[in-house]
Structure 1
């Protein structure tokens, strides 16, 4: 397994690895030492018998010390450098494949060179998308410049947003040395982190767009027991709400909303009058600014559950 260097990719890859061990797979989980060190505690003694961590070492770059061989805490201006370092590490990955001789490589959409490198060793490769079918199919629909309307017309981009989105994809392709979406062409089937009960239409739509069989592998959430306060408060709070009446808002484990975007999201939630759970992440020292913003009038008259704001933040 070779996931991209972000926790939001590594975590579902690890959960998929755990599922595969129940089918008698032995998994070599490949990433940088800094990332593997962060996920060791998520591996139980039982799983450690069948999942083996393999370190992928990067070449030495003065501007990218080893603690930056991950997107966790990476300064934004070093993202292209990180992708460059990953590409430069492809010979090391080739050496790993030659030594371990796995029966299969499961790769992420970054790095795009992983499937061709695996095939050069006569090892089949399968892509795993640790994102939703809705987002993937929508991205494909936008970047392919198709005139076909998306499955859900309410989800759309304005003209200026399409150009911004396309530039983002093009920039990513430039950083990786290949188009990230081109890796679809190198896998006969595509695994995806979702299930048909929620995303059947998007799974089928994506299958048509890429001309591949899409295999959902489930939500792949961390399976440790839920903490007591979550059992007693969050789950009970949700159980007391009507079906389809609560919104979960999160922008990933490594994105910090600037103040103006916090304001935008707060205004939208207040106007919607829906029940919500909003996960807000802070950079180091950032909690004070959000606390100040909240006390200055966010959510005017809106009842906010105490458990939603932990670490001393106000109701």
Structure 2
């Protein structure tokens, strides 16, 4: 397995590996940079040690002194170095080829930005399959835009505002090594053998899965949510945040978190803070700062006197929080989320309603899907994309306090139950497809 160098991609690959090894006698190697592997090694329990191994991929850094090994990941990477990271990843193809020769695998599962990876597989006589860690709605929207930008997307609930469309086009047009990201995406899909794995479920994205299959001319195989189960349950229950939540009424707490790789501006933080304060709700808010802002104090970015005014009703957690444990807790009534795909699926998995506040990349499309499916409500913005405290407060009220929230919660719980029932069936389908691909190779 070769995921892209982002935490939001590596973790789904790890979860898929764990699911596969519990179903069949697969032996799986997960290949990534040392800095990325160091973050996921603690997430792998001893019971998988005989069937899942980590393999270090070293990117060239002598030729790229501006990208030392601790930057061989998107986590904490300064934005201006993103194209350099892609270039370094491309330049590691020889190292990866040598790894493949040493391991001699039966199959390569790869991600969406490295078309050079599937090109190596036929040279060593084994097949390769793409595994996309984003949703089918966003992926089909992107592929259709790349193939025919003038053609209107056939599902009207999925769209981009003008300010979002500009950012979206900039992402597809961005390039490294002379290759646009949009071209990388298409080449990776084209080079996958007759199937493509997607991290999703038919329970929420059936029509988008089918449309994506039509666009790509390949079978799309949903692998399920791949949500990581909370670890160290006994330890978590003893932590102060769990004790604080245990004191709260059912469905009364708002959990606010924007993922590990997006950092809010001071203006965004202020609008969210005022929105929380206007509604007088209890909340847990995870605030992260970039490496360049690591010395920033939370008090410096929050409205003056905010912490004193909210008192014990609000908890600010810097850097990290046990998200899965928090979302599972009965006191949580809403999740203010950037709608990263992993966070969306995690919230649905635990039956929680989403207060959607998308920021960039696939998040606006995911937010529209959340509303369409009925598991959340999006915070509307100005024409320029700015947040407004009154709108933040209104949506929090609608989801946590008003009757609309009751309907969203019921729908979220129903979908959760249906997805949980289908989980084993989906992984069984993945195993069957992978075995057919590997068997087909042996019979040639």
**Deviation at residue 302 of structure 1 after TM alignment:** 8.9
Q: TM-score, normalised by structure 2?
A: 0.60
Q: TM-score, normalised by structure 1?
A: 0.81
In structure 2, what is the Cα distance between the partners aligned to 1:93 and 1:82? 16
Cα 1:236–1:180 change in 2 (3 A) is farther
Q: Do the aligned residues in 1 keep the contact of 2:286 with 2:317 (CA within 8 Å)? A: no
In structure 2, what is the Cα distance between the partners aligned to 1:138 and 1:247? 31
Listed one character per residue, the Cα deviations across residues 173-230 of structure 1 (whole Å, up to 9, x for unaligned) are 6665661221111122111112222222322232223222111112112222542157
Secondary structure of 2:212's match?
Answer: helix
> Is 2:87 the counterpart of 1:84?
yes
Secondary structure of 2:220's match?
Answer: strand
Equivalent residue pairs, number = 306
Residues 166-177 of structure 1: pairs in structure 2 closer than 5 A: 166-172=169-175
In structure 2, what is the Cα distance between the partners aligned to 1:266 and 1:68? 32
Listed one character per residue, the Cα deviations across residues 260-293 of structure 1 (whole Å, up to 9, x for unaligned) are 3334555777899999876542235558554344
In structure 2, what is the Cα distance between the partners aligned to 1:97 and 1:33? 17
State the partner residue of 2:332.
none
**Deviation at residue 132 of structure 1 after TM alignment:** 2.0
State the partner residue of 1:51.
52
> Is 2:184 the counterpart of 1:205?
no
> Is 2:262 the counterpart of 1:259?
no
**Deviation at residue 68 of structure 1 after TM alignment:** 1.6
Secondary structure of 1:310's match?
Answer: strand
- Determine which of 180, 184, 208 is the counterpart of 2:184: 180
Query: Unaligned 5+ residue runs, structure 1?
Result: none
Q: Do the aligned residues in 2 keep the contact of 1:36 with 1:53 (CA within 8 Å)? A: yes
Residues 46-55 or 172-181, more deviating: 172-181
Residues 123-132 or 178-187, more deviating: 178-187
Cα 1:110–1:20 change in 2 (3 A) is same
- Determine which of 297, 302, 305 is the counterpart of 1:294: 302
Q: Do the aligned residues in 2 keep the contact of 1:190 with 1:212 (CA within 8 Å)? A: yes
Q: Do the aligned residues in 2 keep the contact of 1:263 with 1:298 (CA within 8 Å)? A: no
**Deviation at residue 104 of structure 1 after TM alignment:** 0.5
State the partner residue of 1:17.
17
> Is 2:32 the counterpart of 1:31?
yes
**Deviation at residue 28 of structure 1 after TM alignment:** 1.0
Q: Do the aligned residues in 1 keep the contact of 2:2 with 2:110 (CA within 8 Å)? A: yes
Cα 1:286–1:231 change in 2 (3 A) is same
More helix by share: 2
**Deviation at residue 160 of structure 1 after TM alignment:** 5.4
